[in-house]
């Protein structure tokens, strides 16, 4: 490739190309290739380029959301709050990001760790990967996972209070964070706000309320943006979009915040928190490139 690149440069640079330039390019290309190959070789010692995940179960929790449980062929070394890119066998080379809803089980010796990964996947209309995971995947199917990514990682030993805001399946990484804090024995004050468009979409509320009862440092709040015709309101659930609920609660100064869910919700809630005096570096979230 180095030779081809230099030949192309020589051809198109015309008289600008000299023996000296050719030698400089060749040296630079050599250095870059060496650094990349050495880094790839050292990375391969500790982590593969991808993991295989065998589908263990697909449990529907609403009409279009399912909890997908995977077992990886090697331990998957992520931190609670992170996400994995996933490729399903029916759409080769199409990768989509899904948050991990379970606390990390590495080291596998942790008591009670089953080594399984859980994803909360919402099938979006005409979406390729999400529909395959929710409506097509069966136990025994093999998906591929890229290395874990994401900056929404919480230090259990920090003492600042924590605000977790999750919209829809955005609650998945927040569940992992809460459970990881519980496992680490942390005593951080945690306010968790969980919202959805409609009451019937609050599929994780029962599990969250159970955690709220069990963990004295956790308070769970829920909100729905639109009333559901013919359905009774869920007791204890506020009306309003999450950003509105956050704007009228607080005060939030002194808090660290993690925001997870649809990009519009993240943008609005971030603006509310910045207005409330939370410094930008205390607000963690992960978005697709170009979504902010
Ligand atoms: C950090 C991060 C974490 C995430 N975590 C989760 C999670 O935990 N759970 C979850 O469910 N999702 C999560 N997502 C979203 C997820 O990555 C996917 O974007 C989502 O599942 C849709 O992927 P898809 O392949 O099904 O849809 P796509 O095929 O990408 O389609 C997306 C939308 O575009 C429309 N579309 C596609 N092609 C066309 C076309 N040719 N013309 C017109 N419209 C088109 C589709 O109708 C659909 O509405 C996360 C995203 C990020 C960035």
| C-alpha of residue 131 to centroid of ligand 1, in Å | 10
Which atom of ligand 1 approaches the CA of 126 most closely?
Answer: 47
Predicted confidence (pLDDT) per residue in 50-65, tens digit = 899 999 999 999 999 9
Nearest CA to ligand 1 atom 34: 127
Predicted confidence (pLDDT) per residue in 226-262, tens digit = 877 777 777 888 899 999 999 999 899 999 999 999 9
Residues 6 or more apart in contact with residue 148 via CB below 8 angstroms: 76, 77, 78, 79, 82, 83, 84, 100
Predicted confidence (pLDDT) per residue in 128-174, tens digit = 999 999 999 999 999 999 999 999 999 888 889 999 999 999 999 99
Q: What pTM value is reported for the model?
A: 0.86
pLDDT in the model for residue 210: 96
Which atom of ligand 1 approaches the CA of 291 most closely?
Answer: 53
Distance CA 81, CA 170 (A): 10
Predicted confidence (pLDDT) per residue in 181-213, tens digit = 998 888 889 999 999 999 999 999 999 999 999
State the Rg of the chain over Cα.
23
Residues 6 or more apart in contact with residue 209 via CB below 8 angstroms: 220
Domain spans of the chain?
2-43, 51-145, 162-291
Instruction: Please list every protein residue whose CB sits less than 6 Å from any atom of ligand 1.
Output: 83, 96-99, 119-122, 124-131, 169, 172, 286-288
Residue 180 has pLDDT above 80, yes or no: yes
Please state the length of the chain: 292
Is the CA virtual torsion 23, 26, 28, 30 positive or negative? negative
Residue 87 has pLDDT above 80, yes or no: yes
Distance CA 164, CA 253 (A): 14
Domain covering 162-291: architecture: 3-Layer(aba) Sandwich (3.40)
Nearest CA to ligand 1 atom 17: 97
| C-alpha of residue 258 to centroid of ligand 1, in Å | 21
pLDDT in the model for residue 109: 44
Q: Which residues pair with 190 in a beta bridge?
A: 162, 218
Choose the CATH number for 51-145 among 2.40.30.10, 2.40.160.20, 3.40.30.10, 3.30.1310.10: 2.40.30.10
């Amino acid at each position: 490739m180095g030779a081809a690149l230099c030949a192309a440069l020589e051809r198109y640079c015309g008289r600008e190309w000299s023996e000296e330039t050719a030698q400089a390019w060749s040296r630079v290309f050599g250095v870059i290739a060496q650094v990349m190959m050495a880094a790839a070789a050292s990375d391969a010692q500790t982590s593969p380029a991808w993991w295989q995940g065998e589908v263990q179960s697909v449990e529907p929790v609403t009409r279009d959301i399912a909890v997908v449980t995977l077992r990886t062929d090697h331990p998957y070394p992520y931190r609670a709050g992170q996400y994995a890119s996933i490729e399903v066998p029916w759409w080769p080379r199409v990768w989509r990001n899904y948050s991990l809803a379970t606390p990390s089980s590495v080291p596998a010796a942790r008591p009670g760790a089953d080594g399984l990964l859980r994803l909360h996947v919402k099938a979006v209309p005409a979406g390729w990967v999400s529909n395959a995971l929710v409506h097509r995947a069966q136990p025994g199917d093999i998906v591929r996972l890229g290395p874990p990514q994401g900056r929404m990682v919480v230090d259990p030993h920090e003492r600042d209070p924590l605000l977790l805001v999750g919209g829809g399946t955005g609650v998945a990484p927040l569940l992992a964070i809460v459970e990881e804090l519980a496992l680490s024995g942390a005593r951080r004050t945690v306010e968790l706000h969980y919202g959805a468009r409609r009451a019937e979409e609050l599929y994780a509320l029962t599990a969250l309320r159970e955690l709220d009862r069990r963990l004295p440092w956790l308070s769970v709040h829920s909100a729905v943006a639109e009333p559901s015709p013919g359905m009774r309101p869920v007791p204890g659930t506020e009306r309003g979009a999450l950003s509105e609920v956050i704007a009228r609660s607080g005060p939030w100064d002194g808090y660290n915040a993690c925001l997870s869910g649809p990009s519009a919700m993240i943008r609005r809630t971030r603006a509310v928190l910045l207005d409330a005096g939370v410094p930008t570096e205390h607000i963690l979230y992960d978005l697709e490139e170009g979504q902010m």
